[in-house]
Amino acid sequence: MNRKSVRIRPGKLRRAALVTAGYKNLGFFISSALSSEGYPCLMTYRSQGSKANEVARKLNGQAYKADLERESDVEKLLGSIEDDGYVVEVLVNNASSFHTGRIIGTDMDEVRMAIEGAIYPTLIPTLYFIPGMVQRGMGRVINIGMAGIGDLRFYSSVALHAAAKTALLSLTGSLAREVRGSGVTVNMISPGIIDRENYDDNDKSQNDLAKGNLVDPKDVAREIIRVVNSPEMNGENIEVGRDPSK
């Protein structure tokens, strides 16, 4: 189906927030904050369905299996959400790959996976959900970026990831211009290296990149709530913490 043909279904739908990969790590903190604001929290997962469904139940929401790099999965996701009686008012594009390593010596398949894995899970859901927001005259799209990309900094250890997030920043600003005056806003939150102390995997391998300047995931979630409640904010890139190039 052409995404432009997606229409709002008749009937009363509950306004909800959709956080991609919202059942774990940073996504869990974002989902919890939005739930505290009264939103039923919808979330996506690729695996760990039992964990995702458990978290969704606690946050008065639903979990949906979807590969966000596949357009057919996102189209199915939109239909399933509407079939369950929800309409997405807040979309937080949290899901992303995170590639580390140098560019030189990286084979092209890995390069492609690094770029597509950081861009497509944001771009494809946005293109499917934002038309309905514009039609309803209300919506928030919040993309997760990376501290430092607004200053066009250069990186040696996360270069491909930073390049993909820089592209998303450009797309965020361009989409914000397209929806200006519609009641919909598109913004980016760009955190530094998140403190993974309370993450499910407790993988602290990225902490060395932060050079002691870790970001509390609750601070990121608070900024997202601020953006959700600020209709005048559009096309902004809000940094939380220091970027890993410093």
* pLDDT per residue as tens digits for the range 128-167: 999 999 999 999 999 999 887 677 666 667 777 788 898 9
* Greater model confidence, 154 or 183: 183
Q: Which long-range contacts (CB under 8 A, 24 or more apart) does 132-137 make?
A: 132/6, 132/7, 132/8, 132/87, 132/88, 133/88, 133/89, 133/91, 133/179, 133/182, 133/183, 133/184, 134/179, 134/182, 134/183, 134/184, 135/7, 135/8, 136/8, 136/87, 136/183, 137/182, 137/183, 137/184
Q: Residue 200 — pLDDT band, cuts 50, 70, 90? A: low
Check whether 5 has a pLDDT greater than 50.
Answer: no
> How many alpha carbons lie under 13 Å from residue 189 in its C-beta half-sphere?
28
| Section 167-193 average pLDDT | 96
Quickly count: other Cβ atoms within 10 Å of residue 174's Cβ.
11
CA dist 217 and 26 (Å) reads 6
Tell me the CA end-to-end span of the chain in Å, nearest whole number: 45
Check whether 243 has a pLDDT greater than 70.
Answer: no
Residue-averaged pLDDT of the chain: 87
pLDDT above 70: percentage of residues in the chain: 84
The pTM (predicted TM-score) of the whole model is 0.87
Check whether 244 has a pLDDT greater than 60.
Answer: no
- Residue 1 pLDDT: 44
Check whether 10 has a pLDDT greater than 60.
Answer: no
Question: Do the Cβ atoms of 70 and 123 come closer than 8 Å?
Answer: no
